[in-house]
Structure 1
Amino acid sequence: MKFTPLLSAFFLGALTLTAQAATFTVEKTAPGGAIVKIDGQFFTELVVDQANKPYLWPIIGAGGVTMTRAFPMKVIEGEQHDHPHQRGLTFGHEGIGGYDSWAEPSTFAENKNGKYDERIKHLGAIKLQTLKDIQEGDTASFTTVSDYVDADGKKILEEVRQYTFKVVGDTRLIDVNLDLIATEGDTLVDDKKDSGLSIRIPTEMAVEKEKKEKGTGHIINSNGDIDADAWAKRATWCDYYGTVGGKAVGVAMLNHPKSFRHPTPWHVRTYGLFTANPFGLKALDPTSESGAMTLKKGEKISLRHRFIFHLGNEKDAKIAEAYADYAKEP
C-alpha cells in the first residue's frame, strides 16, 4: 500500500499518540486492597490493614517523585515523625456519631496524666467491606464500600468512595468522590478541626520543618493566600509545592462546585498536612457558625475532589485553568 506524505504523517502521528498513551492496571492485594500501576510501574497502593482507616501510600507523582511522607509506614532519617495518623492520602473525621476515625491509638502514645483518656475512649475506625467496579485501561478506577464503626465495632454509617486515576500530559491525577450515608439512623456529623480529605506531603516540601527550620515548600490557594495565611481560608483550590530530591514538584487539591459546602475551608499546615475540611467551620474560624449537622437516616454528604501531582509551581502547572476545566465536569 502506497502512502502519500499526508497519510504517512497521519499514521505516524497516530502511532506517536498510541505510544504516549498510559495503560493502567489494578492488582488486588491479599488483605483486600489494591495496587495501581502505570505502564507496569507502581503508582500507588490502597492499604487497608495497617491502621484504623484505609489510605493510599506511597504515591508516585510527576517526574517519578514520591509525593507522600513515609512515616509511620517507614522510618526515614530526616523526615518529621509527628502525627502518625497522617498517612498518605486518606479521609478521617474526629466526630461522626461521637467517634473519631481521624486519630488512631498511636496518636496518643504519650498520654501524660491521662490527658487524652476521653478522646481515646471515642476512637473508632473505617473498615473496608468491599472493593468493586475495577476499571483498567487509559484510566483506572475502583470503588470501596466501608463501614464507620464505634469503639465496640458497631456500625455508625456507610461510606462509598470512588477513586479514579489518570495521566494528563506530565501530570498525574487522582479523583476522590466520597459519599457518607446515614444507613443506620440519624447521625451527628460534628464540627471538628481534625476532619476531611488529606494528604501528608514529603517533609522536604514542607514550608517549615521541626524547630521552625525552613523547608523548600510554599502553599497558595485560589484567592492568593500564601503559606500560613492559607490556613482555614475558603478557596476553590489549594496547591502545596516545593523541591523534593532536587526536583520542583507540587500537589494541588481541587474542590468541585458540587462538593459539600463548596468552596471548602482548608486545614493546610506549614509542617506538611494538607486537608480539605468542610466540616469544622467554627473549629477553623471562631467567628463562623457551627458546622455540626445531623444526617437523617438515608441522607448523605458528597465530597468531590481532584488531586493533581505536577511539576513546578501552581503557575507552571496551570492549576487555575485545570480547576476551570474540572468545575465544568458533571
Structure 2
Amino acid sequence: MSIVCRRRHYSPRTEEAYRHWTKRFVLFHGKAHPATIGAREVEAFLNHLAVARTVSASTQTQALNALVFLYRDVLRQPLGEMKDIKRVQHRDRLPVVLTQAETRLVLAMMTGTTQLMANLMYGSGLRVNECVTLRVKDIDLTTKTISVRNSKGSKDRTTVLPAQLCTPIEQHLTRVLQLHADDRSRGGGLAPMPDALYRKYPTAAGSFAWQFVFPSAAVRPWGDSDRLVRWHASPSTIQRAFKAAVRKAQVNKHVSVHTLRHSFATHLLAAGTDIRTIQLLLGHRNLQTTMIYTHVEAAVRTVKSPFDLL
C-alpha cells in the first residue's frame, strides 16, 4: 500500500490513515487476507464502525475511501456495489471561532517561538502542519507573502504575511541561521528533502533556504541513510502551548490551535474581504467550503436582540 500511495504522491498523513484502516479491517476479520474477502466483509466492517463504534460521518467516509483504494488500486480487485452500508448522518457544524478580543488575549498568553507560530497561523490562515513545515525559502519578507507548499490535497498556494510579523520573523530566522551554522560546523546542517529532490539537487539539503523555519530541537536519521538531519518542530509543540494559553486566558470555548485558521477567515469576512479572496488564501478547492464562514460571521455579528428594544 505504501508503494502505491507514494507512486500517486499521496501525503504521508493520507498514507498513514489508509494503512491504519487497512490494519483495522484485517484485524476485524480475524487477520484474513483482504484478497480472500470482499464487499460483504467491507460492509460488515463499516457497519460495525457506524453502529458499534458510533464514529462520525467523516471517519466512516475515510475508512471507506481507504478500503476502496486498497481493493481498486493495490489488490486490483475493485469492490462491487454496496447497498447495505449503514451511513452515518452527516451533520453540518459551524466551526468555533474566537472573537478578536479573545484572539488577542490568548496570543498574549503565549511566549517565544510558539507565540510566533500561533501569530503566524492566525495572521496567515495556516493549518498547523503547514506552519511547522514552512521552509526559509517560502517566506518573502519583501512582498510580505508566504508560499504554502504541498498542503492538503497536494496543492500550493500563496497567502499573506502580516506586516507586524516581519520583524519578529526576521529576528527568528537570524537565530535559525546561527543554529544552521553550528550544525554545519559539526558536519551536519542538512534538512530532509521532499520526494527525490535530494538526488536532483544534491547540495540543496545543506543550504539555509531549505531549512525549516521552526526546526526541531534534535537531529534524527533521514530515511535509510545514516545522515542526520534537523526536522521541523512537532505539531504537538504548538498544540500544547495553545491549549495552555486558552486555559490561562480563561476562554470558555472548545477550541484547538486550528481555531486560529477559522478565526482568520471569519475576521477577514467581517472586515469586508470578499469570499473568493478568502477561498484563495485558505486554499479551498470548493467555494462552498469557504461559504461556511459567512454563516459563522452572521452568527457572531453584533445584532441587537428585540428583547433589548423592549
Give the TM-score of the pair, scaled to structure 2. 0.22
Which structure dedicates a bigger proportion of its chain to strand? Answer: 1
Higher Cα radius of gyration? 2
Which structure dedicates a bigger proportion of its chain to helix? Answer: 2
